[in-house]
Structure formats: structure tokens, C-alpha cells
Structure 1
Amino acid sequence: MPGLDDAFWNHLDARIAATLVRAPRRRRSPHASPSLVPTSRPPLADETLSDRHEVADWTGLVETISAAGAAAQVQDERLRERNAAYDTLASDLSRALADVERYKALVARAEAQVEAKSREIQALAEARIKSIQARADARVQRAEERAQAADRRVIVVEEWLSSIEEASRHLLPTPRQPIAKAS
């Protein structure tokens, strides 16, 4: 597959040329093998300069690739850290939401208990008020009955006193004439 290898290298050269200012294109023969082993023939003067330039281009490419690889690793590490942070935040958020739901349930239960206790206290208070009112009404009733009885006794006593007074008037002797003094 020499054609595929040449296409790959030509594409790579084009990318390097796009990134480097005036980077020369590699000159490869269409039948050249992609081996890294140098040929046994000594290079000509023009080829040596061109090869040095190509070696310098490859060095720059290797540095570019190494820098890109390092940058990719750093970015990958940052992404992993962010993912870990997001995962931590997501689990914290899940726990917080679960806590909120649990607290809502506790609040609802407490509100229900407060409402029930409030109704119970209100019912007890109303029963106590009715009981106190009933006792007060009974006392008022007894007091009114006593007052009526006292009024009746007063009437009876007044009648007795009237009759005693009248009877005592009849019992008194008629008025006597003063006796004249003997002189």
C-alpha cells in the first residue's frame, strides 16, 4: 500500500505546512517505501541540505505533536477533574435534595401533629369553658333561688311583724287618764 502511505505523508506535510510558516513540502517519490532506515547511497549536496531542512521540519512536527499531546493530556486531566467535581456536586445535590424532601416530610408531619394538638387543646378548652359556665350558671341559679327564698322570708317576716304590731296594739290598755295630784 505505498499509495496510502504517500497520501498520509502528503496530507501530514500539508497540515504541517499550514501550521508552520513557509514550511517546505517533502519530496517523496511515488514508489518510495515508508521505511525509516536511511539508504546506503551517500546524499548529494542538494539532497543533504534538503534532508536537513526536512529533518528540521520533522523535528518541529515532533515537537508540535508532543506539545499537542501534552496539551491534550492536560486538557484530558482538566476534564477528568471537572467531571469528578461535577460528579461530586451532583452527588451533593442529590443528597441535598433528599435532605430537603426528608425535611419537607418532617415539617408536614410536625404541622399535622401541631394541628391535631391544636384541635385537641381547643376541644379541651371548650369543654372546660362549658364546665365552668355550667358551674357558674348553677351557682347563679342557686344564688337566685336563695335570693327568692330570702325575699319570701322577708315577706313572711314583714307579715309576722305587721301582725305582731297589730296584736300588740290590741293588747295595750287604753290610754289612762292622768291622776290628779292631791293637793
Structure 2
Amino acid sequence: MPGIDEGFWDQLDARIAATIVRAPRRLRPPQASSNPARVSRPASMIEVQAERHHVSDWTGLVETISAAGAAAQVQDERLRERNAAYEVLAGDLRRALDDVERYKGLVAQAQAQAEAKAREIQALAEARIDAIQARADARVQRAEERAHAADQRVIVVEDWLTTFEEASRSLLPALRAPIAKAS
């Protein structure tokens, strides 16, 4: 578990195992020792020592269980704090996601408006280009008509000039007649 490290649980298991191993045994009556050097203790002394050992073993077990309970409460409190922090973060995340979705909608709306405006501007530009092209075509048409009319006038003038030249040539021989010389 994240709040309590593995070392704590290992120590707790070791303490429980040691307590169980040291659990009080039934008192056995003193036996005759095969070792003559060993002094036998009186039975009352053995009972007092066994009783102390028995009480201290159970006290250690209770202390171990109490420590485990306190550690579990601390871990439970940490988990509650983390859960509360996660809830706050989850709420923040939901609000952020809602904001992102709203911004995506606004971006899509802005893109649609921009595309519509671009199409409108392009349509206006094409209409202006068509209008300018039509005016230019009309001017070119008028210029071509004027040029054609001018060409026609040139042809008429050339025809007149040719007629005048021919008429003037026909008059010219009569003018070339010798003038009488007065002697």
C-alpha cells in the first residue's frame, strides 16, 4: 500500500511470528536433570517467570495489533485525503474538458464564419472582376468599332482621293495646252 512501506509490514509479520513462537507453554513439572551441574529451580520461581513471560508475550501482541490498527487508521486517513484530492482534481478535469469542448465549438463556429466570409469576399471579388471585364470588353468593343469606322472612313477618303486624282489628271492635260505666245 502506498502509505505504509513494505518494511513496516515485514516488521509487523516478524513481530507477530515472534509473539506466536514465544506464546506461553503449559507448565511442565520440573524433571530431574540429567546434568548434575545444573541446579534445579523451585517450582514457584518457574511459575513466576513463566507468568511474566506469558503476560509480556500477550502485551507485545496487543501492542503489535494496536500499532497495526493505528497504522491502518493513518493509512485510511491518507486514503481519504487522497480521495478528496482526486475528487477535486476530477472536478477540475471535468470543467477543463467542458471548457475544451466549448472552445472547440467556438473554433468550429469561427471557422464556419470565416469560410462563409471568405466565400462572400470571393463572390464579391469575382463579381467585380466580371464587372471590370465587362467594362473592358465594352471599351475594347467600342474601340474596335471606332477603329473599324475609322478604317471605313480611310477607305472612303482614299476612294475620294483616287477620284480627285483621276479628275485632276483629266483636267491637267487641258491645262498643259500651249499658251499662245504673243509675239
Q: Please confirm whether the aligned pair reaches a TM-score higher than 0.5, indicating the same fold.
A: yes
- Percent identity of equivalent pairs: 69
Q: Deviations over 1:103-125 (max 9, x none)?
A: 11011101110111111011111
Partner of 1:64: 64
Matched residue count: 150
Matched, 1:55 2:55: yes
Partner of 2:19: 20
RMSD: 2.5
Q: Which runs of 5+ in 2 are unaligned?
A: 1-14, 27-43
Tell me, yes or no, if the aligned pair for 1:17 and 1:25 is still in contact at 8 Å. no
Q: Which amino acid aligns with 2:176?
A: P
Matched, 1:140 2:140: yes
Q: Deviations over 1:108-165 (max 9, x none)?
A: 1011101111110111111111101110110011011101110111011111111221
The CA distance in 2 between the partners of 1:150 and 1:17, in whole Å, is: 124
User: Under a length normalisation based on structure 2, what TM-score does the superposition of the two structures give?
Assistant: 0.70
Structure 1's consecutive aligned runs of 4 or more residues displaced over 6 angstroms after TM superposition are none
The CA distance in 2 between the partners of 1:96 and 1:132, in whole Å, is: 52
User: Under a length normalisation based on structure 1, what TM-score does the superposition of the two structures give?
Assistant: 0.70
Partner of 2:158: 158
The CA distance in 2 between the partners of 1:131 and 1:57, in whole Å, is: 108
The CA distance in 2 between the partners of 1:177 and 1:171, in whole Å, is: 14
Partner of 2:124: 124
> Structure with the greater relative contact order (CA < 8 A, sep ≥ 6): 1 or 2?
2
Q: Which amino acid aligns with 1:69?
A: G
**Distance apart, 1:45 and its partner CA:** 4.5
The CA distance in 2 between the partners of 1:118 and 1:61, in whole Å, is: 82
The CA distance in 1 between the partners of 2:16 and 2:73, in whole Å, is: 24
